[in-house]
Structure 1
Amino acid sequence: MKSPARGLLTGVAVAATVGALAGCSAADADQATDGKVELRVATFPPGADAAAYEAFAAQEKQFEADNPDIDIIGVEYEWEGPTFAVQLAGGSLPDVFTVPFTDSKTLLENGQLMDVTDEMEELGYTDSFNPIILDGVTDDEGRIFGFPRQAYAMGLHYNRDLFEQAGLDPDSPPTTWDEVREYAQQISEETGKAGYAQMAINNTGGWQLTAQTVARGGRTQTDGQDGTATSTIDNDGTKATLQFLHDLRWVDDSFGSKVDLDWGTINQEFAAGNIGMYTSGSDVYTALVRDFGLDPEVYGLTVVPTEGADPGTLGGGDIAVVSPTVDDATKAAAVTWIDWYYMQKLLDEDAAVLDAKTLSESGQAVGTPVLPVLSRELYEESLGWIEPYINVPRDQMTPFTDAIWDQTPVGEPKKSTQEVYALLDGVVQTVLTDENADIDALLAQAQTDAQALLDQ
């Protein structure tokens, strides 16, 4: 569910599965060799292409050359909140993995993340992070439980080829929700494909409903100064979003027949050329190409349309964290890996260039639009560092990269985030499966039910 300056918070959780990386068995991970510290680290979701693993293998070799006392064991990994506790208890999580911003507060409060305050301060860049982002992994006593490593803003992803087939200009994507609806109907009529689709299950329906509520000036939750939260789901922005989905599905017949998509399946459908437009994190291009086989030539990205009195753009991202079950030696190795693999390429020119060169030589995406977890200035400077290796079609993303800085970043709801998203999944599914769904009644009930979750 997955999407990094931000003043934005979080992304979405999708699945948490762990399996051995090619060439690494479970027995390998449990057996020490030559006195080295064996460190199990998260790599890619199942289904990543061979080139991704080739790039990781090259980076693994570079790291181990610099750190000969650490043996890296890569494991496949994809986050899923509902199964996290089971995997943690069962010992099947990697020693180093990532979690979305939305879940970091809950996990640290539950004692499910390792305290890395001293290590981060020793590395000397605690003060380098955007304080809003760092707050997501900081407890009430100021202790830090993870390294923010990537952020994104919500974007509208579109298929340039379907635009052209429908007689639309792919260099002029829609700028309002009314235009999105018009474009979707034209794509559907001219190509027979879904002009627009939206996630609806596994908490992603609630995630995207929240994102589009924010884009229309609404908010689904407000925070009190005493740690309480108030559900505000029943607002004009949420209602307009549900009416938009209803009209696409039942009036225009441009939504398509698949109403049970989540992060993985909507990416699969989009990469296969079956969807004209959908919303998701701006960083999803990498996964679309690496994991789902998207042809880069057909890809387009623009900002999510905004309207209303107080519109914003929902953001997200993830945190690199250490399992709370590891010993001191493994923890030290884990922090060394996080610093090398995730952080230094954000801070240091040589590290950034090495990372970009390695990824580029293995055919991996370099230059996918993200938002900086440090500062905009450093992020833009880093793009200059790696410019020779950027291989994503950024000219097809300029409607996003030119306009995103003018939108107001908004973080995801902070309390019971995934539980409320799961609740809202049902609202989205009802609208997409029942032509006569009573949107007002659905919102009133969802607000009551969400408040009960927030009051627990």
Structure 2
Amino acid sequence: MRKSKKLLSMVLVATMAANLMVGCQKTDKQDGKKNNTNATSTEASDNSTTDTVKEDEPKAEPVSVTLGIWPEDTLTEDIKVYEGYVEALKATNPNVTYKPAYYKYAADTFMPMVQSGNTPTIFETWFTEPQKLIKAGAVADITDELQARGWLDKMNPAIKDILSDENGRVYGVPRDGYALGMMLNVELFEEAGLVDADGYPIYPKTWAELAETAKTIKDKTGSAGLCLLAKDGAGGWHFSNIAWAFGATLSIANDDGTYKANLNSPEAIKAMEYVKSLKWDYDVLTADPTNEDWGTGFTQIGTGNAAMYIGANDAVAQPTQVNGLPVDKLAMCPIPAGDGGQFSLYGGTPYMFSKDATSEEINAALDFLEVMGRAPEVNDNVIAGLKADAQNRVNNGVPVIQPFPSWTNQDYIDAQLAVVKEFQNVDPKMFQSYFDATSSEGLRVEEPGLTQEMYGELTNVLQAVLTDKNADVKALMDTANKNYQSMLDAAQ
């Protein structure tokens, strides 16, 4: 069975290469952008010597693209798939050298990288960042390239707004969207006796129920009921979703375009008091939440050290492929509800481009997205890319589940869902409640203003209340609110 899966993966890569030889139509290249000579990574494949043009035709100028979207070194199977994409592109982009350069966006280090001219040609960031990067002149305008390809009008309008300046010029394309839910380690729910007659986990529907469920799991298994983050900005990010359930709004937009900090509202304070109780009243958290970040949270649930963790559909590879949880022992349910309602923070990951990238480099990077199946097209190349990604997930024990649509053309959405159905390797009921909740009116985008700075202030409070049983939550939230308002005032 393992051999047949690997064989299919090889066939898919070969199919991609064959399809590209006959089907990938190139767009006209735009001139006039500064050439990027600052690539710093090793080469994936030097394909600039492949000659597919007639002797009497001028050869295309060499183009170098640094792929900041390359998988990290530990994901060896993913790297093989990406190498297949590079191989497939040799047929149509013989003048392009694609260079791998795994890059994880960090708000505090990105601008120095821009200033030194070392930004990858293409990279990923978060939906909270594009407006800041656009205003700083740190990313490339790709409107013309998207228009030439016919992609511009296929983008989800709400996402296009996030990626556009005040004049409607566009600076990125979506990788995917996500909505926060609750990831469940089914093995621990089974051990605690918290499954129904059909074996599906009995998940908590309210935050009050979550505390009790977590306590049952801790008492019966010895593992933490919940992994809560309190190390970096991700702690504040997750807390904002908890606060909404308690009725809080953390940043208020004024009519004049400025913002008012609202971290110390009664509702926000109540939410923080609840978090404090998880540590000191229920004792259901991992040993030291102040050392838990986005990555360690997946480690805790994947290795069975925690039963629940706030996560999203775009990260199901983390507890499974990366941390070893069997593919059939991961489930997802909605974020619990509170007095203020049930909400799921909606966000996503865009691809953006170095401000120094030429039009030729941008188009070559967009070609790479197409063979990955990330382009809003339905052709043999895109389908082959979607299938190669799905087969890689199957091979590596990653759930093949439906995506959140980032593009609006129905043909592409249907093609994505058809591939999911073909390669489905999990019981969809393990994820159904999550997708039901996140297709409702409960989706909510991140708070406006200096969002990352707000998360940092909230994380400071989390660290205090989770390390000091006598911490004064109101006083801490008052201080955080004052600090956040000072930042908003300085930026307005």
Pick from 132, 136, 141: which aligns with 1:110?
136
Q: Tell me the alpha carbon deviations over residues 356-394 of structure 1, each in whole angstroms, 9 at most, x when there is no partner.
A: 321243325463343211249663663124421233553
Q: Tell me the alpha carbon deviations over residues 31-64 of structure 1, each in whole angstroms, 9 at most, x when there is no partner.
A: 9943532211123553542211111112222233
- Paired letter, 1:272: T
| Correspondence 1:209-358 to 2 at 5 A | 209-259=239-289, 260-309=291-340, 311-341=342-372, 343-344=374-375, 346-348=376-378, 350-358=380-388
- Paired letter, 1:292: N
* Contact map agreement 1:219 1:232 (CA 8 A) in 2: yes
Alignment pair present for 1:126 and 2:152 = yes
Q: Which residue does the alignment assign to 2:475? A: 441
Cα distance, 1:86 vs. partner? 2.3
CA distance in 1, matches of 2:98, 2:70: 15
Q: Identify the range of structure 1 (386-395 vs 71-80) with the bigger mean alpha-carbon deviation.
A: 386-395
* Contact map agreement 1:313 1:408 (CA 8 A) in 2: yes
Q: Which residue does the alignment assign to 2:428? A: 394
Q: Which residue does the alignment assign to 1:372? A: 405
- C-alpha distance 294-389 of structure 1, shift in aligned 2 (>3 A): same
Q: Tell me the alpha carbon deviations over residues 65-91 of structure 1, each in whole angstroms, 9 at most, x when there is no partner.
A: 333332222221212111112222334
SS at match of 1:65: coil
Q: Tell me the alpha carbon deviations over residues 252-301 of structure 1, each in whole angstroms, 9 at most, x when there is no partner.
A: 11112121211111112221110111112232102333333332122110
| Correspondence 1:136-155 to 2 at 5 A | 136-155=162-181
CA distance in 1, matches of 2:118, 2:325: 31
Cα distance, 1:342 vs. partner? 5.5
CA distance in 2, matches of 1:91, 1:241: 43
* Contact map agreement 1:214 1:312 (CA 8 A) in 2: yes
Provide the identity percentage: 26
* Contact map agreement 1:218 1:310 (CA 8 A) in 2: no
CA distance in 2, matches of 1:349, 1:301: 32
Cα distance, 1:212 vs. partner? 1.4
Greater gyration radius: 2
Compute the TM-score of the two structures, normalised by the length of structure 2: 0.81
Alignment pair present for 1:403 and 2:437 = yes
CA distance in 2, matches of 1:329, 1:219: 44
- Paired letter, 1:290: Q
Q: Tell me the alpha carbon deviations over residues 213-261 of structure 1, each in whole angstroms, 9 at most, x when there is no partner.
A: 1233322112234321111222344223222221111111111212121
Pick from 58, 75, 82: which aligns with 1:49?
75
Q: Identify the range of structure 1 (100-109 vs 29-38) with the bigger mean alpha-carbon deviation.
A: 29-38
Q: Identify the range of structure 1 (161-170 vs 234-243) with the bigger mean alpha-carbon deviation.
A: 234-243
- Paired letter, 2:271: T
CA distance in 2, matches of 1:73, 1:248: 46
* Contact map agreement 1:79 1:98 (CA 8 A) in 2: yes
CA distance in 1, matches of 2:270, 2:259: 23
Higher relative contact order (CA 8 A, sep 6+): 1
- C-alpha distance 336-59 of structure 1, shift in aligned 2 (>3 A): closer
CA distance in 1, matches of 2:229, 2:119: 27
SS at match of 2:309: strand
- C-alpha distance 65-29 of structure 1, shift in aligned 2 (>3 A): closer
Cα distance, 1:331 vs. partner? 2.8
* Contact map agreement 2:139 2:352 (CA 8 A) in 1: yes
Q: Identify the range of structure 1 (243-252 vs 393-402) with the bigger mean alpha-carbon deviation.
A: 393-402
Could you list the runs of 5+ residues in structure 1 that have no partner in the other structure? Answer: 1-23
- C-alpha distance 343-26 of structure 1, shift in aligned 2 (>3 A): closer
| Correspondence 1:166-177 to 2 at 5 A | 166-169=192-195, 170-177=200-207
- Paired letter, 1:238: A
SS at match of 2:125: strand
Cα distance, 1:336 vs. partner? 3.0
| Correspondence 1:193-212 to 2 at 5 A | 193-212=223-242
* Contact map agreement 2:154 2:409 (CA 8 A) in 1: no
Cα distance, 1:189 vs. partner? 0.8
Q: Tell me the alpha carbon deviations over residues 78-131 of structure 1, each in whole angstroms, 9 at most, x when there is no partner.
A: 121111122223344321111100011101110111011111122223222222
Could you list the runs of 5+ residues in structure 2 that have no partner in the other structure? Answer: 1-38, 50-60
- Paired letter, 1:94: P
- C-alpha distance 129-360 of structure 1, shift in aligned 2 (>3 A): closer
- Aligned-pair Cα RMSD in Å: 2.5
SS at match of 1:405: coil
SS at match of 2:224: coil
- C-alpha distance 291-300 of structure 1, shift in aligned 2 (>3 A): same
Aligned length: 432
CA distance in 2, matches of 1:228, 1:125: 33
| Correspondence 1:172-191 to 2 at 5 A | 172-191=202-221
